[in-house]
Amino acid sequence: MTALEANFDGLVGPTHNYAGLSFGNVASQNNAAAVSNPKAAALQGLQKAKALADLGLVQGMLPPQLRPDLASLRRVGFAGTDAKVLHEAASHAPQLLNSFSSASCMWTANAATVSPSSDSANGKVHFTPANLVDKLHRSIEPGQTARILQAIFKDPAHFQHHMHLPEHPYFGDEGAANHTRLCHQYGQQGVELFVYGRKASQANSPAPKHFPARQTLEASEAIARLHQLDDRYVHYIQQNPDVIDQGVFHNDVIAVGNQNVLFYHQQAFLNSASELALLQQKMQGDLHLVEVSTEDVSIDAAVRSYLFNTQLVTLGDGSMALIAPSDCQENPQVYQYLQSLPERGSPIKQVKYFDVKQSMQNGGGPACLRLRVALTPAELAAVNPQALLTDDLYQQLTQWIHKHYRDRLCATDLADVTLYQESCAALDELTQIMRLGSIYAFQR
| Parallel, antiparallel or unpaired: strands 191-196 and 234-238 | parallel
Distance of CA 286 to the CA centre of its chain: 27
Separation of alpha carbons 256 and 178, rounded Å:
10
Clarify whether 16 is annotated catalytic.
Answer: no
> What is the structure's pLDDT at 31?
58
**pTM of the predicted protein model:** 0.96
Task: Tell me what the mean pLDDT of segment 221-247 comes to.
Answer: 97
* Residue 21 DSSP symbol: -
Tens digit of pLDDT for each residue in 154-183? Answer: 999 999 999 999 999 999 999 999 999 999
> What is the structure's pLDDT at 228?
98
Sheet holding 288-292, edge to edge: 255-258, 261-265, 288-292
Clarify whether 379 is annotated catalytic.
Answer: no
Kindly name the residue from 250, 265, 288, 404 that is annotated as catalytic: 250
- State in Å, rounded, how far the first CA of the chain is from the last one: 43
Separation of alpha carbons 406 and 345, rounded Å:
46
> What is the structure's pLDDT at 25?
58
- The answer to whether 393 and 386 have CB atoms below 8 angstroms apart is yes
- The answer to whether 303 and 255 have CB atoms below 8 angstroms apart is no
- SS3 label, residue 70: helix
Tens digit of pLDDT for each residue in 253-307? Answer: 999 999 999 999 999 999 999 999 999 999 999 999 999 999 999 999 999 999 9
4-443 fold: L-arginine/glycine Amidinotransferase; Chain A (3.75.10)
Task: Tell me what the mean pLDDT of segment 184-197 comes to.
Answer: 97
> What is the structure's pLDDT at 129?
98
Separation of alpha carbons 63 and 36, rounded Å:
20
Separation of alpha carbons 82 and 33, rounded Å:
24
pLDDT tops 80 at residue 444: no
pLDDT tops 60 at residue 355: yes
Separation of alpha carbons 278 and 287, rounded Å:
11
256 by Cβ neighbours in 10 Å (0-12 / 13-18 / 19+) ranks as buried
DSSP secondary structure of 287-306:
-EEEEEPTTTS-HHHHHHHT
**C-beta neighbour count of 86 within 10 angstroms:** 25
Kindly name the residue from 161, 368, 379, 404 that is annotated as catalytic: 368
Separation of alpha carbons 64 and 105, rounded Å:
6
> What is the structure's pLDDT at 363?
77
Tens digit of pLDDT for each residue in 6-54? Answer: 999 999 999 999 876 755 555 556 655 689 999 999 999 999 999 999 9
Task: Tell me what the mean pLDDT of segment 324-333 comes to.
Answer: 96
- SS3 label, residue 241: helix
Burial 136-171 (b: 16+ CB within 10 A, else e): bbbbbbbebbbbbbbbbbeeeebbbbbebbeeeeeb
**Boundaries of every domain in the chain:** 4-443
Rg for the chain, CA atoms, rounded: 20
| Parallel, antiparallel or unpaired: strands 255-258 and 288-292 | unpaired
**C-beta neighbour count of 372 within 10 angstroms:** 21
pLDDT tops 80 at residue 442: no
pLDDT tops 80 at residue 311: yes
Q: Say which residue, 124 or 346, is predicted with more confidence.
A: 124
Which residue in 132, 145, 138, 125 sits closest to 219, CA to CA? 132
> What is the structure's pLDDT at 29?
62
Task: Tell me what the mean pLDDT of segment 342-370 comes to.
Answer: 91
Kindly name the residue from 5, 141, 174, 218 that is annotated as catalytic: 174
Clarify whether 291 is annotated catalytic.
Answer: no
Separation of alpha carbons 319 and 349, rounded Å:
6
416 by Cβ neighbours in 10 Å (0-12 / 13-18 / 19+) ranks as middle
- The answer to whether 356 and 369 have CB atoms below 8 angstroms apart is yes
- The answer to whether 112 and 145 have CB atoms below 8 angstroms apart is yes
pLDDT tops 70 at residue 398: yes
Task: Tell me what the mean pLDDT of segment 71-83 comes to.
Answer: 97
Separation of alpha carbons 267 and 300, rounded Å:
12
Q: Which residues contact 307 (CB under 8 A, 6 or more apart)?
A: 292, 297, 301, 324, 328, 334, 337, 338
Q: How confident is the model at residue 231 (pLDDT cuts 50, 70, 90)?
A: very high
